[in-house]
Structure 1
Amino acid sequence: MESKPFVRRGRPYVGPVQAVILDWAGTAVDHGCRGPVAVFTRAFGRFGLEPETAEVRAPMGREKREHVAAMLNMPRLAALWRERSGHAPDDADVDAVFAAVTELMPGTLADYAEPVPGCVEAMARLREMGVKIGSCTGYSRSMMENLLPRAAAAGYAPDCVVPADEVPAGRPWPWMCQTNCMRLGVHPQEAVLKVGDTVADIEEGLNAGHWSVAVTRTSNALGLTAEEAAAMPAQELARREEALARSFREAGAHYVISSVADLPELVETIAARLRPRRHVLDRGIEEFYDYRMGR
């Protein structure tokens, strides 16, 4: 196997963008992140609770057991659980609801595997540019078993997929991103874009040292199908996206784009930002050697 030169740390990275790492629902597939909402709503329904959509969406992006725990810790849902069971939600209750989520997730997600508009074309363009496609998700490997082949049949098949149960902890920890980088053979972390639709995604990217990119139109926060977004008056859609973009920037996102369809253009923008660094670094090295040689 041909080896690549190793980039020694200690000076700014001046190479090309090597990879993008994408979240799944609300980012690459499932416009509006509808699949997880359906699963959590059904899972809690088995225990006599009817969570509001906002309650389901609030912890989105986190590992799914943590998602269940966060919901059961919400005042309204905790009070309803206590009313029905006679005690506050505990770890055993989290496990019980999570078991229902795990059971429901594979079959449900298969119905929400459609890539967002422009995703397939954007991935093809990125590969033409020499950029590798990674993926990470709060789903477990078993939850992905039906989603992966359905997405692939629709044209979306990342080079690497790392689910939350294959690392020590999910978002906002950087382990899924770092595992992607190891499996893809990309280095350093500044050569990678992490793309997602939640604050947890943004934090994950920042913690991994990547360019952290958020998407708005397809996101969990907007919660719109592609058809609903297309039918919404343009000014209203733009207003909602800009409000969400502000919140993502406040969370630390380096860039905010409407959808992954915009990724090739963004990669070119970031590559252009890196090129001047190469010129400055090269000039600095030349001046240093001129000084050492007494020129």
Structure 2
Amino acid sequence: MQYQYPERLQCAILDWAGTVVDFGSFAPTQIFVEAFAELGVELSLEEARGPMGMGKWDHIRTLCDNPAIAARFKQAVGHMPSDADVTALYERFMPLQIAKIGEHSALIPGALEAIATLREQGLKIGSCSGYPAIVMEQVIARAKDNGYEADHVVATDEVPNGRPHPAQALANVIALGVSDVAACVKVDDTAPGILEGRSAGMWTVALTCSGNALGLSHNEYTNMAPNLLAEQRARIEAQFAPAQPHFMIDTIADLPAVVAEINARLARGERP
């Protein structure tokens, strides 16, 4: 048998919050602030957004490893944050998160149309998230009510290691019967999500304006002065650069044009 390069994409693996739903990725960030506040620890939205894209336990652990946050934690609680404290915060986070999902479940404008275009071209739609399965149940149900249903979903606690490890992306490859990782594109609004796709050997597309990095509502985004938006876009592109995404676009609405370019590159024998 002889190896043959894939000539077209077979699958798009999409993140959820900040990619397909919840423009600005507000649902997870506010809950981190509230969970820490219950212990008397002040946490800003900017700090909460820092490790976004990781599994939520790992996200909290990373926040607690921040020296400034750890110092505030020690002042409020009396000791430096341990893994047991992280688990306790995670357990506080979960019911708050489930309750908050409904407030931020709207589909990102243009998502349905873009995904429909990809399906018409024969692509399967995989998905994964930093949310655990119990939260994803709520996200999936609300997205279905709004007209979106992925072909497969992998939650962060359904694999041994979440992002930036490649396990969730690769679980989609296996479940959807994709013949080659080079025939997949991973789309995400966070650096850990891009690293996930990179580590899995896939094409990667970073979303600069719909998710965590910009952190604005769709209305705020569309009403931002062009020069200010250009400045923010440049800042976010520099933020994504170490993860080395193959493409950077504003929102998922721009994805079909990127898919066309990837298909052209695959047809020329290029690889991710």
Q: Shared fold (TM-score greater than 0.5)?
A: yes
235-244 vs 48-57, which deviates more?
Answer: 235-244
Deviation at 1:258, TM superposition (A): 1.0
1:228-249 deviation per Cα after TM superposition (whole angstroms, max 9, x unaligned): 0011112211221133123323
Give the equivalent residue in structure 2 for 1:108. Answer: 100
Runs of 4+ residues over 2 Å off in structure 1: none
Deviation at 1:146, TM superposition (A): 1.6
Give the equivalent residue in structure 1 for 2:234. Answer: 242
Residue number among 85, 88, 110 corresponding to 2:80 in the alignment: 88
Letter matched to residue 178 of structure 1:
L
Deviation at 1:12, TM superposition (A): 5.7
CA distance in structure 2 between the aligned counterparts of 1:156 and 1:181, rounded to whole angstroms: 20
1:196-251 deviation per Cα after TM superposition (whole angstroms, max 9, x unaligned): 01110111111000001100110201101000001111221122113312332342
Give the equivalent residue in structure 2 for 1:289. Answer: none
Residue number among 251, 256, 259 corresponding to 2:251 in the alignment: 259
CA distance in structure 2 between the aligned counterparts of 1:118 and 1:147, rounded to whole angstroms: 18
Letter matched to residue 193 of structure 2:
D
Contact 2:6 2:180 in 1 (8 A): no
Q: How does 1:1-295 map to 2 (within 5 A)?
A: 11=3, 13-277=5-269
Deviation at 1:108, TM superposition (A): 0.7
1:169-221 deviation per Cα after TM superposition (whole angstroms, max 9, x unaligned): 10011000010111111121000000101110111111000001100110201
Point out where structure 2 has 5 or more consecutive residues left out of the alignment. none
What is the SS of the residue equivalent to 1:170?
A: coil
Contact 1:249 1:255 in 2 (8 A): no
Q: Could you say what the CA RMSD is over the residues aligned between the two structures, in angstroms?
A: 1.4
Letter matched to residue 62 of structure 1:
M
CA distance in structure 2 between the aligned counterparts of 1:235 and 1:80, rounded to whole angstroms: 37
What is the SS of the residue equivalent to 2:245?
A: coil
Change over 3 Å in CA distance of 1:218–1:275 after alignment to 2: same
Point out where structure 1 has 5 or more consecutive residues left out of the alignment. 1-7, 279-295
CA distance in structure 2 between the aligned counterparts of 1:73 and 1:247, rounded to whole angstroms: 20
Give the equivalent residue in structure 2 for 1:285. Answer: none
1:106-160 deviation per Cα after TM superposition (whole angstroms, max 9, x unaligned): 1211221111110011011110010111111110110112221111111221111
32-41 vs 242-251, which deviates more?
Answer: 242-251
1:54-108 deviation per Cα after TM superposition (whole angstroms, max 9, x unaligned): 1100010000000111111111221111112221111111111000111211121
CA distance in structure 2 between the aligned counterparts of 1:229 and 1:157, rounded to whole angstroms: 26
Contact 2:24 2:212 in 1 (8 A): yes
What is the SS of the residue equivalent to 1:142?
A: helix
CA distance in structure 2 between the aligned counterparts of 1:24 and 1:240, rounded to whole angstroms: 22
Contact 1:28 1:116 in 2 (8 A): yes
CA distance in structure 1 between the aligned counterparts of 2:4 and 2:74, rounded to whole angstroms: 54
Letter matched to residue 83 of structure 2:
D
CA distance in structure 2 between the aligned counterparts of 1:97 and 1:247, rounded to whole angstroms: 28
Letter matched to residue 229 of structure 1:
Y
Give me the TM-score of the superposition, normalised by structure 1: 0.88
Give me the TM-score of the superposition, normalised by structure 2: 0.95
Aligned length: 270
